[in-house]
């Protein structure tokens, strides 16, 4: 009985070691998308390139299947910040042109979404 228990324990220990070193089970760093929605009208009329839009809906979409990954309203400065896994995304805002971005593990991608 002792021999089979020891064999079983060694087998479990070996399997745990293999699984813990497998890349599939490693934690990938979170990536970030930071979007600033700005009004083209305000930029053009008042020369305010940093005029952020408050309460503007920003949507992050997985382009491979069209699934909505996240949605947020911009804050009081016009920003919407998202934590996402690394990958390719489409960013959309009402009145703005959709933009495709690639985000690497641990990377922060920031850009302006100009709303016409």
| Cβ–Cβ under 8 Å, residues 103 and 27 | no
pLDDT in tens, 63-92: 999 999 999 999 999 999 999 999 999 999
- As beta bridge partners, residue 102 has 88
By residue count, the chain amounts to: 116
In this predicted structure, the answer to whether residue 40 has a pLDDT above a threshold of 70 is: yes
Averaged pLDDT score across all residues of the chain = 82
Domains of the chain: 28-115 (2.60.40.10)
At which residue do the structure tokens 């960013």 appear? Answer: 91
**pLDDT for 77:** 92
Burial class (CB in 10 A: 0-12, 13-18, 19+), 20: exposed
CA distances from 111 to 79, 80, 96 (A): 10, 11, 13
- Predicted model pTM: 0.70
Tokens of 113: 């979404």
């Amino acid at each position: 009985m002792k021999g089979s228990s020891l064999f079983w324990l060694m087998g479990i220990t070996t399997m745990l070691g293999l699984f813990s070193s497998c890349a599939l089970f490693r934690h990938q760093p979170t990536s970030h998308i930071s979007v600033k929605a700005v009004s083209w009208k305000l930029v053009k009329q008042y020369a305010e390139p940093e005029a952020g839009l408050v309460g503007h809906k920003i949507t992050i979409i997985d382009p491979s299947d069209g699934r909505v990954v996240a949605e947020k309203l911009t804050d009081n400065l016009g920003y919407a910040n998202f934590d996402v896994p690394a990958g390719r995304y489409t960013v959309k805002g009402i009145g703005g042109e959709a933009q495709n971005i690639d985000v690497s593990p641990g990377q922060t991608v920031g850009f302006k979404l100009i709303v016409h």
